[in-house]
Chain A
C-alpha cells in the first residue's frame, strides 16, 4: 500500500512530461510533404450533419464531406484518418494540430478566418423558401397573406421575420425543430417554409412531398476546407486540387448523390 502513492505520482509526472514534449510536436502545421511522409491524412469531420456527415447502416462515417475527404486522401496517395469533432470543436482541432484539415460544413466567415485559414469553397448551401409547386412565390412580397413556417432561431427565421415586420400580412409560424416544420408543410398547415436547400430531399420522403419546390434563395453559405493558420503550403495544394474536382465534375456528382441537386455557383478568393 505504502508504495502506491509514489508510483502514482511518478506516473502523473511522466504523463505531464510526455504531454509537454509531445504537444509542441503535434501543433506544427503539416505541409503536404509531411502528410505524405507520415503516410496518413487526418481530417476532422462531424457525423451529425446529414447529408454532409452522418453514419451509415454499418455505423461508418459517410456523406458529402466524408467523400470529399476520401478523395483528398486519394489525390495525396495516403489513407484518411477521421477525427470526429463537434461544431464548436472544429477551430480548436486545427489550432492544437490534432488534424490537418477540417471538412465539416465549415462556413467561411471573417471572424473564423482570424483563427484558421480557409480553402476556396468546395460546397455551398442556401437558406431558401420552399412552397407547393402550384403557388407563385418569387419574393417576400408574394408571401403577404400566407402562413410561413420556420425553425425558431435559424437564419431563415431572422430573414423572414425581418421581412414580415416590413410587410404586414406575412404570418410567421415558428416551430421548435425541423421535423415539426416539415410536418406542418406536408399537412398544409403552412403555405411556405424557410429551410436549407436540401430540405426537399426530406420533404420528398414524406407523404405527398413531391409537390414542393424551392422558390427563391434567402442567403447562401459557402463551406471551405479549414487548415491551420498560415499553413499556406497545404491550403495552396487544396485549392489546386479543388480546381480539378470542380472541372472534372466530381464535386457536382457528390452534390447530386448526397444533396439531390447541383451546387450553387462557388466563388473563389
Chain B
C-alpha cells in the first residue's frame, strides 16, 4: 500500500472550498432552471396544442438520447459558430439545465398522467377556473406523486456537474484534477473529493426530503 500523505492536499484547502462553492452554484442554478423547463414543458406537452407538444417531444427525445458530455461540447464549442458565445460556467449551466429539463419533463408528465380524469371533471363541475384546475388539481398533486423521482434526478444532476471540467469550467473535480497535476497526490485528492461529494449529496438528499415535507404537508 502506497504511503498516503494528506499534508500537500490540505495545504490547498482553499482551492477545495472554491470548488465546492462552484459545484453547489452550478447544481443549484441548473436544478432551478431545469425544473422550470420541466414544469412548463410537461404542461405544454400534456395540454398544449400539437404545434407546442411536438417540438417539446422532439427536445425530450434528442436530449435523453445523447450524452451530457456531447451536449456540453455542443453548447460550448458549436454555438459560438452561430454567434452565441457563453463563458465556460454559463455554458455549463445552460447545458446542465437543458439536460435536466428533458428528464424533468418526462418525470412531471408521468405525474400529470397519473391524475384521474374524473378528478379534473369534478373540478370543472365545481366551477373552478382553468388556471386553478391546472395548479391545484393537476400540477401540485402530480408533483407530489413524482417528487421522489424528481429529487433522484436532482441528485444525479449534482453528480453530473463533475464532468463540466471538460469545457474548462472550474468545479470541484476540475480543481481536483489541477491539484493532481501539481502535487501528484492523486490517491489522496480523489479520496478527499469523494468524501466531499458524499457529504454534499447526503446533505442534498436530506434537504430535498425536508422541502418535500414542507411543500406537500396535506394528504391528497
Contacts and interface: CB of A to CB of B under 8 A. Distances in A.
Contacts of B76: 184, 187, 189
Contacts, number: 47
Interface string B41-81: 00000000000000000000000000000000100111011
Contacts of A187: 76-78, 80-81
B178 interface: yes
A173 B88 contact: yes
B178 A152 contact: yes
A63 to B, nearest CB: 27
B78 A173 contact: no
Contacts of B174: 174
A175 B181 contact: no
Interface string A167-178: 000000111100
A184 B168 contact: yes
A174 B177 CA distance: 10
A187 B178 CA distance: 24
Interface of B: 73, 76-78, 80-81, 85, 88, 165-168, 170, 174, 177-178, 180-181
18 contacts: A152-B178, A153-B178, A153-B180, A173-B168, A174-B178, A175-B167, A176-B165, A176-B166, A180-B73, A183-B73, A184-B76, A184-B168, A187-B76, A187-B77, A187-B78, A187-B81, A189-B85, A189-B168
A149 B168 contact: yes
Contact of A153 (B85, B165, B167, B181): B181
A157 B167 CA distance: 16
A188 interface: yes
A157 B178 CA distance: 10
A184 B77 contact: yes
A7 B137 CA distance: 84
Interface of A: 149, 152-153, 157, 173-176, 180, 183-184, 187-189
- 8 interchain residue pairs of minimum CB distance: A153-B181, A173-B168, A187-B80, A183-B77, A187-B77, A188-B80, A175-B168, A176-B166
A188 B85 contact: yes
Contacts of B181: 152-153, 157
Nearest to B174: A174
Contacts of B165: 174, 176
Given A175-B167, A180-B73, 15 more contacts: A149-B168, A152-B177, A153-B181, A173-B168, A174-B168, A174-B170, A176-B165, A176-B177, A180-B167, A183-B73, A184-B76, A184-B167, A188-B85, A189-B85, A189-B168
A146 to B, nearest CB: 13
Contacts of A180: 73, 77, 166-168
Contacts of A152: 177-178, 181
A156 B85 CA distance: 25
Contacts of A149: 168
A175 B77 contact: no
Contacts of A183: 73, 77
A193 to B, nearest CB: 11
Contacts of A153: 177-178, 180-181
Contacts of A176: 165-166, 177
Nearest to A151: B181
Contact of B166 (A157, A175, A188): A175
Contact of B80 (A157, A173, A175, A189): A189
A168 to B, nearest CB: 15
A175 B80 CA distance: 17
A189 B80 CA distance: 8
Nearest to B76: A189
Contacts of A157: 181
A188 B79 CA distance: 11
